[in-house]
Chains A and B, each alone.
Chain A
Amino acid sequence: MSVYQKNEVKEDETSRTLSLVVDNQPGTLARVIGLFSGRGYNIESLTVTEIDKIRSLSRISLVTRGTSMTIEQIKSQLLRIVPVHIVRDLTLEGPFIKSELALVKLVVKGANRVEALRIAETFRARTLDVTLSSFVFELTGKPSKLDAFIDLMRSLGDTEISRTGVSAISRGNKTETKLLDQI
């Protein structure tokens, strides 16, 4: 953005979820991240994993924040990157699912252990590891649900948190197969 922009009337920034299909090559992720840092855009969450071994393609799910003009910029800038094949704006396309996984370690003794298990059950978290003084819970779902769970756990004892970041997909029967075949 030009520094001249300062005086412009500011439109509200909104959160957007983008879904990218990229070549699974060294450097592709660096290129995407470099675009955001180099041009001063925000990344709120980012996940990457290979989705197609034969064609060697990866999906990047990305949550960013900006005005509609900035988001349009981000999308067209992303498409300039040679190994980026598809850029979809899930927020704009319609209903979509956002899901995330969290591993939460809680160090807890005494009566709070029961409380922790009760909360975990309410949230439908799985207990992956138990010792006499700790638990490791696994929880999936919307980021806001994970936030709430983690907040509660923190009030019960010392915690260690590991989260994957948001993975997203559109609702309904539409797929990207046709787009992918053109790559």
Chain B
Amino acid sequence: MFFLKVNKMTVNYINGAEAVIKALEENGVEVIFGYPGGAVLPLYDALFENKKIKHILVRHEQAAVHAAEGYARSTGKVGCVLVTSGPGATNAITGLTDALMDSVPIICLSGQVPTHLIGTDAFQEADTTGISRPCTKHNYLVKDATQLCEIIHKSFLIASSGRPGPVLIDLPKDIQLSKVKYVNKNTKIKKHNNDNSSNIDESLINKVATLLLQAERPIIYGGGGVVNSGPEASKLLTELVNILDCPVTLTLMGLGCVPNTNKNFLGMLGMHGTYEANLSMHNCDVMLNVGARFDDRVTGRLNAFAPNSKKVHIDVDKSSINKVVSVDYGIVGDCKKVLSALVQEVKKLHNQKTIKSKTKWWSQINKWKEKDSLGFKQIGNNIKPQQAIKSLYEKTKNFDTYITTEVGQHQMWAAQYFGFSKPNHWMTSGGLGTMGYGLPSCVGVQIAHPESLVIDISGEASFLMNMQELSTIVQYKLPVKIFILNNEWMGMVRQWQELNHGSRYSESYTASLPDFVKLAESFGITGLRVDNINNLDTTINEMINIKGPVIADIRVEKEENCFPMIPSGAAHNEMILSSDDNQKDTSNEGLALV
């Protein structure tokens, strides 16, 4: 700290790095995930004696962002990341893109070479704001120390308001070392244009409420926007479902916002959604989309998507409305606010009018349910991956359990067979589909919820992508459970090769796997292995009961496919329920799709 006499008043000057840390504190940051380096040494120096902010040292910058995402998504707070210039920043890019796609509020501070060296190809220099521009909601390069504090305060506002997303602040080293007068948060911070805090059009709410009440075959489809809007929004959505007594389905990102035990919940929809959810979407007459974005995983072939329905879309992001699906009514606003108005209106109208009988609709849905699209046969001693998830759910459902996943078959099985009764308990990479997301993400979740049971449901290939984080887990004594569905294949790649490429398994076998038990032991943690169905439950119990971190190597059926499935380029009503069902060849257009 410097003390300078200015105009007979004593002004406290601190250096830029100290101002940054102070601004983080003021914005409620308790944990920061990061990795030091030359260009952020002043920031690390400012953190050295700080008692309020806990720094978690990860082992790779990508993992820092995923950990912050896990932290943010399980708490509703803003996740905070600190990385150095050059490779530190470029390593963070995958994480930032992931956060952008899944609308997770993140602040990423990156070091930069001093301003006079910018543009000279200095050591560890990268055009970080240039590289991160398309993968952040906004970014800043701080070139003027007097603007430092305001930029940080504004970044928190941008990251957490409207549709949340990552904001990167690039901090040249000389700015971190320059003298700064600290500026508090509430002094004249301009609201930014994308806040969407405007009022909701009441006549529109009335029209939508009427439409829902008069519908014969309504369906509500909820997404990650409901989770992002806070737990209150999930309660309101459940209330709306109960009043209307209509079916509800959730996207991958929305799981948990209506409890899995709710009798109207049809399970997840989309490419690996349940038969009843997809068929209900296809045959509905009124569809209410709350906080989802008609992703291609959800809609299937667009020109056959819910062909005879009136569609209503609630989204905080105006650009999501009419992006890929034209809707009859678009309501721009925060899910909680809109749902609250809608629930009130529905209640009001409900007293005046009678709701159309849905007996026929429900009996139709129950017929679809009879297909038992998630059914599987556990024969022999080999463990079916579906059974592994089912058993895991049975054994953990009475705990406060948080699940993170990687990407692939195990992710879909987790979404299908694990039941989520609360929002913010399910962390998965939906939009970007980042293999290697789950392990670092569960670090962030466990830091935020030290007493809870945090499980990373993983595949052996995804696990290998960020397994250096085992070291972080051991350092901070995080009792996370890593539940690896090990089938020795990049399962989803193998499945697509089987279905679309004549079983030509090009490069999808995970060769040269480590011995996961010995790997665990080499980090000083417990490794378990099970390959017989008869020992599955005991192993899961053992895993839960061990106090520290555990890697459970669950050897599952190697060539099991994930069903039901909407083949690429097909519509909701063209689902296949098993391999035998795959009579039609995938269309040429379908082959081109991801």
A: residues with CB less than 8 A from B are 1-8, 26-27, 30-31, 34, 38, 69, 72-73, 76-77, 79-82, 84-85, 183
Closest to B320 in A: A76
Interface centre among A4, A76, A80, A85 (most CB of B within 10 A): A4
- Residues in B with CB closer than 8 Å to A6 are 589
Chain B proximity of A36: nearest CB distance (Å): 12
Q: Which residues of A contact B593 (CB under 8 A)?
A: 3-4
Bound-state CA distance A161–B139 (Å) is 37
Judging by beta carbons under 8 Å apart, are B193 and A84 in contact?
yes
Chain A nearest CB from B422 CB (Å) reads 30
- Does B242 reach chain A (CB closer than 8 Å)? no
B326 A69 Cβ-Cβ under 8 A: yes
When the two chains form their complex, are residues A8 and B323 in contact, meaning their CB atoms are under 8 A apart? no
8 A–B contacts, CB within 8 A, in A order: A4-B302, A7-B302, A27-B133, A30-B133, A34-B134, A79-B318, A80-B194, A82-B192
Report which of B133, B302, B326 forms a contact with A34, defined as CB distance below 8 A: B133
> Is B149 on the interface with A (CB-CB < 8 A)?
no
Asked if A2 and B592 sit within 8 Å, CB to CB, the answer is no
**15 extra A-B contacts, CB within 8 A, seeds A6-B589, A7-B301, A73-B323:** A4-B303, A4-B593, A27-B133, A27-B139, A30-B130, A30-B133, A31-B133, A38-B134, A69-B322, A79-B318, A79-B319, A80-B137, A82-B158, A82-B193, A85-B193
Within 8 A of A (CB), among B322-339: 322-324, 326
**In the bound complex, how far is the Cα of B404 from the Cα of A77, in angstroms?**
31
Complex Cα spacing A169 to B592, Å: 44
The complex places the Cα of A161 from the Cα of B302 at a distance, in Å, of: 46
A82 contacts across to B, CB distance below 8 A:
137-138, 158, 192-194
B299 at the interface (CB under 8 A from A): yes
Query: Hey, which chain A residues are within 8 Å of B174, CB to CB?
Result: none
Residues of chain A with a CB closer than 8 A to B91's CB: none
Complex Cα–Cα for A30 and B138 (A)? 12
- Write the chain A residue with the least CB distance to B593: A3
- Binary CB contact string for chain B from 230 to 246 against chain A (1 if under 8 A, 0 otherwise): 00000000000000000
Is B296 on the interface with A (CB-CB < 8 A)? yes
Say yes or no: A1-B303 contact (C-beta < 8 A), given A80-B194, A82-B137: no
Chain B residues with CB under 8 Å of A81's CB are: 138
Q: How distant is the Cα of A4 from the Cα of B295 in the complex, in angstroms?
A: 11
Q: Are A4 and B301 in touch, CB under 8 angstroms?
A: yes
Task: List residues of chain B with CB within 8 A of the CB of A69.
Answer: 322, 326
- Residues B553-594 near A (CB distance < 8 A): 569, 589, 592-593
Q: Which residues of B contact A85 (CB under 8 A)?
A: 193
Q: Is B317 an interface residue (CB 8 A)?
A: yes
Best-surrounded residue of A6, A8, A80, A183 (most CB of chain B within 10 A): A80
Tell me the chain B residues, 271-324 only, with Cβ under 8 Å from chain A: 296, 299-303, 317-319, 321-324
Q: Are A73 and B302 in contact (CB under 8 A)?
A: no
Q: How far is the CB of B185 from chain A (nearest CB, A)?
A: 18
Query: How far apart sit A2 and B190, CA to CA, in the bound complex (Å)?
Result: 35
**Cβ-closest chain B residue relative to A76:** B319
Chain A residues whose C-beta falls within 8 Å of the C-beta of B32 in the assembled complex: none
- Give Cα A30 to B141, complex, Å: 14
A114 to chain B: closest CB distance in Å? 51
Q: Are B322 and A73 in contact (CB under 8 A)?
A: yes
Query: In the complex, which residues of chain A have a beta carbon less than 8 angstroms from the beta carbon of B569?
Result: 4
Cβ contact within 8 Å between B303 and A7: yes
Cα distance A9–B322 in the bound complex, in angstroms:
16
Contact of B592 among A3, A38, A76 (CB under 8 A): A3
Closest A-B pairs by Cβ, 3 of them: A76-B319, A4-B302, A82-B138
Interface flag for B129 (CB, 8 Å): yes
Contacts of B592 in A (CB 8 A): 3
Which residues on the B side are within 8 Å of A7 (C-beta)? 301-303, 589
- Separation of A181 and B35 alpha carbons in the complex (Å): 43
Chain A residues with CB under 8 A of B589: 3, 6-7
State how many angstroms separate the Cβ of B278 from the closest Cβ of chain A. Answer: 16
Partner of B322, one of A1, A2, A72: A72
Q: Hey, which chain B residues are within 8 Å of A80, CB to CB?
A: 137, 163, 194, 317, 319
Asked whether B296 lies within 8 Å of A4 as measured between CB atoms, the reply is: yes
Residue of A nearest to B302 (CB): A4
Given A1-B324, A4-B593, are A76 and B133 neighbors across the interface (CB < 8 Å)?
Answer: no
With A3-B593, A82-B192, A85-B193 in contact, do A8 and B303 touch (Cβ < 8 Å)? yes
Question: Chain B 250-287, CB within 8 Å of chain A: the 1/0 string?
Answer: 00000000000000000000000000000000000000
**Contact A5 B302, beta carbon cutoff 8 Å:** yes
A5 and B569 alpha carbons, distance in the complex (Å): 11
CB distance from B350 to the nearest CB of A (A): 33
**How far apart are B96's CB and chain A's nearest CB, in angstroms?**
15
Task: Tell me the smallest distance from the CB of B586 to a CB of chain A, in Å.
Answer: 14
- CB contacts (< 8 Å) of B301 on chain A: these are 4, 7
Minimum CB–CB distance from A63 to chain B (whole Å) comes to 21
Q: Which residue of A lies closest to B295 (CB)?
A: A2
Q: Which residues of A contact B296 (CB under 8 A)?
A: 2-4
Residues of A within 8 A of B138 (CB): 81-82
* Cross-chain contact of B129 among A4, A27, A38 (Cβ < 8 A): A27
Q: Which residue of B lies closest to A4 (CB)?
A: B302
Q: How far is the CA of A79 from the CA of B192 in the complex (A)?
A: 10
